[in-house]
């Protein structure tokens, strides 16, 4: 508690850096945007077909965000993301791509097109809206739980303060995996924000609050044990509560890391994506639970300035 402002300051800097790296490199998968994907039974020159297709679609006034061409052994996969289009426009885009392939003699007939899939704007918008609602509802439910669970110590600590801190630290715990994803999207264009990422974030939300609530519960117990005393040194209570729960917190972190490492090493690519996000939370989410949540409550309550002299006198 003696370095509460330092710990919260580091937390804030990490949070702002996380937002920057994520939103400056954000790229959504087809579930959250509108895409046309087509697989052709022929291998093409990647740069040539990409340039020709881009020019053809531009002349037809399509708003193309990006085109990816992935040649394999005897096939070529073309992934195209458009923007600002309607479902009808995306369907027309799909047909025009087929016309381009035949017109420019990339294929002799539509029989060479092995697979084609479309994700329209309505689907992408629905998925984005659903993901945002899930995150918001999760935060609200956590806040409501804190208001009722900690009503017994409202004379000493307002439950609304604890609820606010839980929301702030949870947003931080969401931002850190997002930061790691931002770095990955910057290094590898195939990495995108998809449903696996959202599931991992939701898992992080429910799991990350565990250590925070345990610490707050111990603070509540220690305050109740000292109820009736004329003078309470909140900094000492908070610090003792942290040390009393520290062993359990690190035990939880270590056991969770073992499972995540096994998942990352032994399972498939999708599970690896999930494990990567959870692994980042275990490292940084534990920091917010142990070193930020209680100091932040301490600062918001205004106890840091009032008790600073007494806390510095403690060994």
Please, what are the domains in the chain? 4-29+123-313 (1.20.1640.10), 35-119 (3.30.70.260)
Q: Kindly state the tokens that stand for 191.
A: 């990495």
pLDDT score for 124: 66
The reported pLDDT for the residue numbered 132 is: 78
Query: What residues contact 250, with CB distance under 8 A and at least 6 apart?
Result: none
Q: CA-based angle 272:274:275, to the nearest 5?
A: 65
Q: What is the pLDDT along the chain (315 residues), one digit of tens a residue?
A: 677 788 888 888 888 888 888 888 887 776 666 667 777 777 777 788 888 888 888 888 777 767 778 887 778 888 777 665 677 777 787 888 888 888 877 777 777 777 777 766 666 677 778 877 877 887 787 777 777 776 666 777 777 888 888 888 877 777 777 777 788 888 877 777 777 777 777 777 766 677 777 888 888 888 878 766 666 778 888 888 888 888 877 777 788 788 888 888 887 777 887 788 777 777 777 777 778 888 888 888 887 777 777 776 665
**pLDDT at position 77, please?**
82
Beta bridge partners of 64: 82
Beta-bridged to residue 260, according to DSSP, are none
User: How far is the C-alpha of 280 from the C-alpha of 272, rounded, in Å?
Assistant: 12
Do 76 and 40 touch, CB atoms closer than 8 A? yes
Give the angle 12-14-18 at the CA atoms, nearest 5°. Answer: 115
Write down the pLDDT at residue 230. Answer: 61
């Amino acid at each position: 508690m003696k370095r509460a402002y330092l710990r919260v300051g580091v937390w804030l800097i990490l949070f702002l850096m996380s937002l920057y790296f994520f939103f400056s490199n954000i790229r959504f998968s087809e579930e959250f945007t509108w895409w046309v994907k087509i697989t052709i039974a022929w291998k093409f020159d990647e740069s040539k077909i990409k340039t020709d297709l881009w020019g053809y679609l531009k002349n037809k006034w399509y708003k193309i965000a990006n085109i990816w061409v992935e040649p394999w052994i005897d096939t070529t996969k073309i992934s195209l993301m458009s923007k600002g289009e309607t479902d009808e426009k995306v369907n027309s885009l799909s047909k025009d791509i087929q016309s381009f392939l035949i017109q420019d003699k990339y294929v002799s007939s539509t029989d060479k097109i092995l697979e084609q899939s479309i994700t329209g704007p309505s689907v992408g918008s629905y998925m984005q809206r659903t993901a945002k609602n899930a995150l918001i509802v999760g935060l609200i439910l956590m806040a409501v739980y804190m208001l009722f669970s900690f009503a017994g110590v409202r004379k000493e600590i307002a439950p609304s303060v604890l609820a606010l801190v839980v929301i702030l630290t949870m947003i931080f715990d969401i931002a850190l995996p997002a930061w790691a994803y931002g770095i990955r999207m910057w290094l590898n264009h195939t990495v995108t924000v998809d449903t696996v990422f959202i599931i991992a974030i939701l898992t992080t939300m429910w799991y990350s609050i565990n250590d925070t609530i345990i610490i707050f519960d111990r603070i509540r117990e220690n305050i109740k044990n000292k109820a009736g005393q004329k003078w309470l040194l909140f900094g000492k209570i908070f610090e003792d509560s942290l040390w009393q729960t520290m062993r359990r917190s690190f035990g939880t972190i270590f056991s969770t890391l073992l499972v995540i490492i096994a998942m990352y090493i032994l399972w498939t690519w999708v599970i690896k994506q999930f494990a990567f996000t959870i692994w980042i939370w275990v490292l940084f989410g534990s920091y917010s639970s142990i070193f930020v949540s209680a100091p932040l409550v301490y600062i918001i309550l205004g106890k840091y300035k009032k008790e600073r002299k007494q806390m510095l006198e403690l060994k």
